Amino acid sequence: MFKKLLIFKILFLQFIGLNFFNAQKTNAFIPYYDLPSKKFLKKNGSEIGKSAYQLLYFGQFKEGLALAKLAISLNPIDVNLWVLLAEAQVNNKLFDDALVSIEKGKLLNPLVSELYFAEGAIYINQNKKQKAKRSLKQGLRIQPDNINALFQYGNIFLMEKNYEKALSKYNKINEIKANFWQAINNKGLIYFERDEILLAINNFTQAIEIENNAESMLALGVSLKESNKKKSILLVKEALQKNPNYVSFEFREEQLWGEKLQKATEELFKSKELKQDISIANLYKN
């Protein structure tokens, strides 16, 4: 893992070396060197932007933000770098700064869908659902088959308990990408709230077949508690081992679990067969 100071030392030395060690012959009294060209700055801004993206990808958010700022200072007319900077700012919870970066990107090119999708994600985080819808809708006009944006849009409707519109978005996602298990899982969440337990079971099962994930596993276990208690307990145990955070009511709420599923989960957690598993999960959550 590279530390921030080391990264800057490397980049600074490369930049100085390329620009100044190859300078023209100096005057005895007035030092002279060639200023870096616009083409050079543009190229290096893009290269540093790639490094910033890699840092963000591997969770080094502060370092990624620092490099994204450096990249944009070298090439402020690259709209992709403004998208990158906004992403870095979001990862560092600098949401207002990210919105400013997005607006600057729109001034350069208002037809970049990622700007609107990033804006929508920020508004969702700030619980500004109507603004989020507008941003996502604008982005989807440009890129109508973006499954991540459609998923965010569906999630807003799920939060609003507008189940029909949420299902419409999730179904569209699965028409584009049949194995997008998150949409299938969320359809299961909706069916459970509508007391359509068999449909919920089918969707949670399908999601697990695609991706053996803790959320669908726990939800399936809860859905089976009346019809197959033994399998239900086994699924809950495995789910909590995979991700102990699901022992938390608040964490499940963040994953958009509805009132009925939450209530059923809390009731199942009182089972004596799960007492030890619940205690261990509480120790290891977060």
Q: Which domains does the chain carry? A: 1-92 (no CATH), 111-178 (1.25.40.10), 180-286 (1.25.40.10)
Q: What's the pLDDT score for residue 41?
A: 47
Instruction: Give the end-to-end CA distance of the chain in Å, rounded to a whole number.
Output: 23
Q: What's the pLDDT score for residue 43?
A: 61
Residue-wise pLDDT tens for the chain (286 aa)?
Answer: 544 333 333 333 343 333 333 434 333 344 444 444 445 445 677 888 888 889 888 999 999 999 999 999 999 999 999 999 999 999 999 999 999 999 999 999 999 999 999 999 999 999 999 999 999 999 999 999 999 999 999 999 999 999 999 999 999 999 999 999 999 999 999 999 999 999 999 999 999 999 999 999 999 999 999 999 999 999 999 999 999 999 999 999 999 999 999 999 999 999 999 999 999 999 999 8
DSSP code of residue 33: -
Cβ contact 43:11 at 8 Å? no
Distance CA 141, CA 124 (A): 19
DSSP code of residue 112: -
Tokens of 262: 């939450």
Q: Can you say how many angstroms the Cα of residue 34 is from the centroid of all Cα atoms in its chain?
A: 43
DSSP code of residue 9: H
pTM: 0.80
CA-nearest of 200, 210, 207 to 257 is 200
Residues constituting the chain: 286
Q: What's the pLDDT score for residue 11?
A: 36
Q: What's the pLDDT score for residue 161?
A: 97
Q: What's the pLDDT score for residue 268?
A: 98
Distance CA 22, CA 24 (A): 7
Q: Any residues with CB less than 8 A from the CB of 242 and at least 6 apart, and which?
A: 213, 214, 217
Q: What's the pLDDT score for residue 39?
A: 57
Torsion from C-alpha of 53, 54, 60, 65, nearest 10 degrees: -20
Q: What's the pLDDT score for residue 235?
A: 98
CA-nearest of 121, 164, 173, 170 to 145 is 173
CA 164, 170, 171: angle at the middle one, nearest 5? 85
DSSP code of residue 271: -
The single residue listed with the structure tokens 């019809």 is: 227
Q: Any residues with CB less than 8 A from the CB of 231 and at least 6 apart, and which?
A: 221, 224
